[in-house]
Each structure stands twice: as structure tokens, then as C-alpha cells.
Amino acid sequence: KESRDEKFLWQHMDPATSTVTASYCNQMMNHQNMMVGPCKPVNMFIHELLPDVQAVCFQGNVPCKNRQPNCYQSSSKMHIIDCHLKKGSKYPKYNYQTQQLQKPIIVACECVQYETVHFDGSV
């Protein structure tokens, strides 16, 4: 079974794409097979190097949306890509809106090495 930090990597990390086009979210959300069953209405991809994202676990501690205490806000803005399911989009042709943002991110961290496990938001 995949670990939570592995799931975080495929769901939220994309350090590689050089040009983000309007069809980015359709491609990424398709590719990552999140459209099986109920599709994910919102997903963020982080366009930064992994060590920079993992380092957020040691930056500003903030309360999580679910009130757990293990969330951390990045001290600098990060390049993120917001994928939002468009209204009226139905199986099997899910259509996502792609929006590029530069914002501090908030992630939840867990485990011995304190790895990112959940994307809590951006501010």
C-alpha cells in the first residue's frame, strides 16, 4: 500500500512542467487517474522542487482546517497550479479550469522524518 507521503507526491507535486497551458489540469488530473469514480473537484499542484516543499514542515506552524496542530505555512510564496472542476462537467469528460498562482502554501506534515502528507490550502 502506498504511504501518505507517496500519495502527496503524485497528487500535489509537479516540479518538472516547463510551460503550463490551459489544458494543464485536464492532462494532469487525467494522467494521475483521479477521475476514477467521483472526480476530485479541486486539486493543487506545486510547481517547486521537492526539498523546498518538504522544508515547509519546518516553517511557520499554523492550525489546520480540521483543527489538527500539524500544519505549516511556507515562509515564501510558491508557484502553485489550482485545478478546479468546471460547472456542468460530467463523467467521463471532466473539464478542469487551470489557474496559476504565487502564494504561501499550507501543508500537513507527519511521521518520523516529518514529511508532507496533505495540502491544506494557500493564503
Residues in a beta bridge with 29: none
CB 8 within 8 Å of CB 115:
yes
> Is 32 among the residues that bind ligand ATP (CB under 6 A)?
no
Interface residue with ligand ATP among 35, 71, 78, 85 (CB under 6 A) is 71
* 45 touches ligand ATP (CB under 6 A): no
**C-beta atoms surrounding 32 within 10 Å:** 15
Tell whether residue 119 is a contact of ligand ATP (CB under 6 A). Answer: yes
Which three three-digit cell numbers place residue 63?
492550525
Write down the least CB distance from residue 61 to ligand ATP, Å. Answer: 11
Q: C-alpha 88: how far from its chain's center?
A: 23
Say whether 31 is catalytic.
no
Amino acid of residue 89: S
Residue 70 engages ligand ATP in binding (rule: CB under 6 A): yes
Q: Is 61 in the site for ligand ATP (CB under 6 A)?
A: no
**What's the 3-state SS for 97-118?**
EEEEEEECEEEEEECCCCEEEE
57, β-bridge pairs: none
With CB under 6 A as the contact rule, which of the stretches 14-22, 64-72, 86-94, 97-105 interacts with ligand ATP?
A: 64-72
Residue ranges that bind ligand ATP, judged by CB under 6 A: 4, 8, 11, 64, 66, 68, 70-71, 108, 110, 117-119
Residues annotated as catalytic are 12, 118
